[in-house]
Structure 1
Amino acid sequence: MTPFLLTLLLVNLVLIGLVFADFRKSKKAHQLKTAAYESMIVTLLENQASQDGRIQMADDLKETLRTSQKRIGAEILSLQYQLLDTLAKNNLIE
């Protein structure tokens, strides 16, 4: 009976060793995948920050263009009134 128990113990120890080795291998593979995912996340966050900056610049540009269009429109209207006044003073309007 003792040789049977020793053999059974030995088989169990070998199986535990194999399971432990497989566990370490799986853990290492998981760490590598996690590192790759972390690297992708960092890259995506950097791209997002860059795009957020571009969006902010585009919004600022839109506001600048809107302000410039209003100012230019007002200046053109003022020039048209001045032209009409000059034409009226010189009796060139029919």
Structure 2
Amino acid sequence: MSDEAGRVFLGSDLTSRLEAIAERTGISAEDLAARAVKMYVDQIEEIQAGIDRGLADVKAGRTVTMDEARETIRKLRSDHIKGGGNH
């Protein structure tokens, strides 16, 4: 990837905020921005993986009705209360 491909326009307000954080933390604005983008991309990938797993479950017929889900939650709550809530 060329250096140009790694550039992102942040706008003056966001750039100012990022530079202020960089000054307070001693971490370069470039490193802070790279960390933030990585965290965001990781989060989006995790969300997409969850969606993909859910769609695969639906396609494979691994679903429950709303009543079954409510009953499972009711039982889990009851077990949690009986167990002293330490779970």
Q: Same fold (TM over 0.5)?
A: no
For this structure pair, what is the TM-score category when the shorter chain's length is used for normalisation?
0.3 to 0.5
Relative contact order, CA 8 A, sep 6+: which one is greater?
A: 2
TM-score by structure 2 length? 0.39
TM-score by structure 1 length? 0.36
Of structures 1 and 2, the larger Rg is shown by 1
